[in-house]
Structure 1
């Protein structure tokens, strides 16, 4: 199968984040086995979602990981001009949900497998395909935790998020949480008899916004825009009607942290303000939604130099979006971002990838195979 045929099969699986993914995992596993690879399927704690680890070459020596995620965001936007789960070609563009983010990269890695198997690699190449990346990198920590039993510690991991095939050395870390306030309902004519959860949450949000402005004072990393950590409240929900005292309110909040700053630590002042509401009679809850660390790969790293050689492009210092790369680095494995497509096309109607971008990605993977065979 060529890249386009593989990509068509991958797009046909509506592997939306947070949903069971066994059909796409089984199909990828069968394809990789037929190409001569060793395949390990790893069930996640959810029970209905799986990570996939594939190896070409000897496991007992260090090699490299090609890392990608099998899930996609939903395709419910009405602006799609055709079925988002049927790959369609128009000129040099291939349209469909996940073409750029990031099934195009998966298709390139899979299409290269038969050729890699024929190279008799002296060092291995691994494919690490995860689930629920779009929910805050929930699947890959379980895969990374299993690596010591799957292979010798890798020399590095290439995360194939869309970067126009330009190696990227850094991104911010992220943490997100859902805040919940539970008060006491009643008729709005007697506010003295109730506990208004929306009003209480408003106080928490007001202080969170004020706190977010203090982050603009640093620490700074000039490689990012903006060059400081940030906080925003993205979703607020509460209340039933204007004449009912709302007894429940939730707010979703996120932080983006520059390198060297723990994302979760940035949320601690907000958490403290939330739990202080208990002194006023409210019940509260804090639900962690996602968290992953920043990526910061030194310019002089061997992995960065290798990717410059493999792609023929100079490395880009940083991007604004987040990936699984920081989690690999946190586990002691150097990581870098490099993949086909443009992040500006991701999570949008009529998402597409260009034929030439897929060809460039496959060429990079084949060059890596030659490096591992030398």
Structure 2
């Protein structure tokens, strides 16, 4: 990390760390901490309850004054898709494309921020700039709440947070929230010719699955709508169903995973209430997998104007994917989404960020530094 100077070099270093969601990330976090230490930038490693993963919080400027957070996650989704043309964890360049797992989502933003950090420190901004790196965002924003809970000991109440998910550097004011639930049914195995002697775990799931499908239809037909989103309604779907061993064996176990995505103003967990009720009535166990709230920043908020100015783009109303921004907002920190690249490239083989996109993000970070210095 110490030898990285440009955003391109920094991105190559970051991609080289295999920080797949749910796995240890301390090697990356410690390398970033060393980078900050080498430039005289104060930082804290905040180890999560898992013990092998950590968030990191750094401050450029006076932490006792209100400032802005630049927020990014350093975990990535797995890279098992067959479409990769080379090792996903070695950044390679083809034309102006920088290809590697996490290049777009969202180590590109993190690389631009880290590469800009020495210049930001040299500016000595009167309004501090904080850098917040989180883990396990791809598992439903599981890491960042531990860091947000410690913000009062890390800095003065922030003026705002910029979450650098890929938006083409267009500031985004709102996103949907999400809640995910696992259902688990236990039955009694036996020969399928004698269902009276067993208990079918898959059948036990059916009332909850039917309730999920009915709730999805009801949300589309009669639920509140917000035209900023696509689709404009809150949604719900059964994502996975597993169970059984063979056609002629009564299944003794079955599981399903269900997610709800909520428009702004709606609690995503509440959308799963009919599923929970049906599961309880059927004796099916339930487990919350993750939950994060929607984001909704008023277009007239000063943060929207600031990020529009430094990015060079007017704000757009909303996106349907979720981010950590809603959690910052829930904690009282105004938040906006603005980062390089296109979300359509995320979670796909040959994921990439272009050199111009990376450079433009670096320029945006420096422009924010200048705005905080004046």
| Residues 238 and 246 in structure 1, CA contact (< 8 A), matched pair in contact too | yes
TM-score (norm 2): 0.98
- 1:214-237 Cα offsets, whole Å, 9 max, x none, are 111121111011111110000000
| Residues 220 and 258 in structure 1, CA contact (< 8 A), matched pair in contact too | yes
Residue in structure 1 matched with residue 226 of structure 2 by the alignment: 221
- Where in structure 2 are the equivalents of 1:330-341 lying within 5 Å? 330-341=330-341
Work out which of the residue numbers 258, 262, 266 in structure 2 matches 1:257. Answer: 262
Shift of 1:285: 1.5
Shift of 1:243: 1.1
Residue in structure 2 matched with residue 69 of structure 1 by the alignment: 73
User: What CA distance in whole angstroms lies between the structure 1 residues aligned with 2:30 and 2:287?
Assistant: 32
User: What CA distance in whole angstroms lies between the structure 1 residues aligned with 2:92 and 2:165?
Assistant: 21
User: What CA distance in whole angstroms lies between the structure 2 residues aligned with 1:27 and 1:242?
Assistant: 52
- Is the partner of 2:266 in helix, strand or coil? coil
Residue in structure 2 matched with residue 291 of structure 1 by the alignment: 291
| Residues 89 and 100 in structure 2, CA contact (< 8 A), matched pair in contact too | yes
Residue in structure 2 matched with residue 179 of structure 1 by the alignment: 183
User: What CA distance in whole angstroms lies between the structure 1 residues aligned with 2:339 and 2:229?
Assistant: 20
Gaps in structure 1 of 5+ consecutive residues: 279-283
Residue in structure 2 matched with residue 311 of structure 1 by the alignment: 311
Residue in structure 2 matched with residue 356 of structure 1 by the alignment: 356
How many residue pairs get aligned? The number is 369
User: What CA distance in whole angstroms lies between the structure 1 residues aligned with 2:249 and 2:167?
Assistant: 50
User: What CA distance in whole angstroms lies between the structure 1 residues aligned with 2:211 and 2:45?
Assistant: 45
Gaps in structure 2 of 5+ consecutive residues: none
- Is the partner of 2:349 in helix, strand or coil? coil
| Residues 72 and 98 in structure 1, CA contact (< 8 A), matched pair in contact too | yes
- Where in structure 2 are the equivalents of 1:46-61 lying within 5 Å? 46-61=50-65
Work out which of the residue numbers 230, 241, 246 in structure 1 matches 2:235. Answer: 230
- 1:257-311 Cα offsets, whole Å, 9 max, x none, are 0111100111111011001013xxxxx3111111000000011011001111111
Residue in structure 2 matched with residue 19 of structure 1 by the alignment: 23
Work out which of the residue numbers 277, 284, 289 in structure 1 matches 2:282. Answer: 277
- Is the partner of 1:267 in helix, strand or coil? helix
User: What CA distance in whole angstroms lies between the structure 2 residues aligned with 1:266 and 1:76?
Assistant: 32
Residue in structure 2 matched with residue 40 of structure 1 by the alignment: 44
TM-score (norm 1): 0.98
| Residues 36 and 56 in structure 1, CA contact (< 8 A), matched pair in contact too | no
In angstroms, what is the RMSD of aligned CA positions? 0.8
| Residues 61 and 121 in structure 2, CA contact (< 8 A), matched pair in contact too | yes
Residue in structure 2 matched with residue 281 of structure 1 by the alignment: none
Bigger mean CA deviation after superposition, 129-138 or 205-214? 205-214
- 1:180-211 Cα offsets, whole Å, 9 max, x none, are 11121111111011111111212321221012
User: What CA distance in whole angstroms lies between the structure 2 residues aligned with 1:195 and 1:29?
Assistant: 55
